[in-house]
Amino acid sequence: MNYMKNMENKVRVSCASFASIKMGDDYLLCLNKSQLSKGYQVFTPFGGALEYDKEARVFLDNIGVEYERKEPDLRLFMEKDNINLFEIWFSKKGNREFSVDREMIEEMVDEEGVFSSLSKEDYASEYIKSEKIKTDREGFENFMYFDIFKIKFNISKAREIFLSMENKPNIRLISKDEILSGETTDGIKIGTNSKSIII
């Protein structure tokens, strides 16, 4: 991978979908696996990186993106002049993943063990909004695009979540005020992307 070479005039783009899981007045978040592996505790929403369809590869190659990962993952580098073209493509929601299902099920079943199994019949999913956040990362601009989906579990699965929280400190119900402050009442950081799931 040569995406770190010649970074002048280039930007990083990352695209993700997040689940807004509201239970009562609070939101269900989990400790971010990537941050935990680095020794940091940060609560973030369930969800993760979006993937592109093979049909999108022609467009992405034509605007000169450099792929951060080998899989069809929408974490990319590109010339700053092409960010508007990418944003138009992303907003059309075609030839790319437009769902939180894959990442949410993977995290809740395989990673966190909230459920032994989870299917799309166990919850209702409703697209709420898309957001764009611009930050600086290691000296260059980073554009983050989020699709937000409201998730409502059936009664049986909601009960499983509450039971799971009793012995799984990695998942927690967190208030809107805590999310806006960026920190839980006991001092654990909450990721900035969590603000996007507030509805």
Give the pLDDT confidence score for residue 3 in this predicted structure: 45
pLDDT less than 50: residues of the chain: 1-4
Residue pointed to by tokens 């944003």: 87
The domain made up of 10-187 is a member of CATH 3.90.79: yes
Structure tokens at 189: 């950081």
pLDDT score recorded for residue 1 = 45
Cβ 7 vs Cβ 66: under 8 Å: no
Residue among 87, 182, 81 nearest 133 (CA): 87
In the chain, beta strands by DSSP E: 10-20, 22-23, 26-31, 42-45, 47-49, 66-67, 75-79, 123-137, 140-153, 171-175, 189-190
Measured CA to CA, the distance from residue 89 to residue 86 in angstroms comes to: 5
pTM: 0.92
pLDDT in tens, 181-194: 999 999 999 999 99
Confidence at residue 167, expressed as pLDDT on a 0 to 100 scale: 92
Closest CA to 32 of 47, 43, 24: 43
Q: Convert the pLDDT of each residue in 138-190 to its tens digit.
A: 778 999 999 999 999 999 999 999 999 999 999 999 999 999 999 999 999 99
Q: Give the pLDDT confidence score for residue 112 in this predicted structure.
A: 95
Distance CA 61, CA 57 (A): 6
pLDDT at residue 7, as a whole number: 64
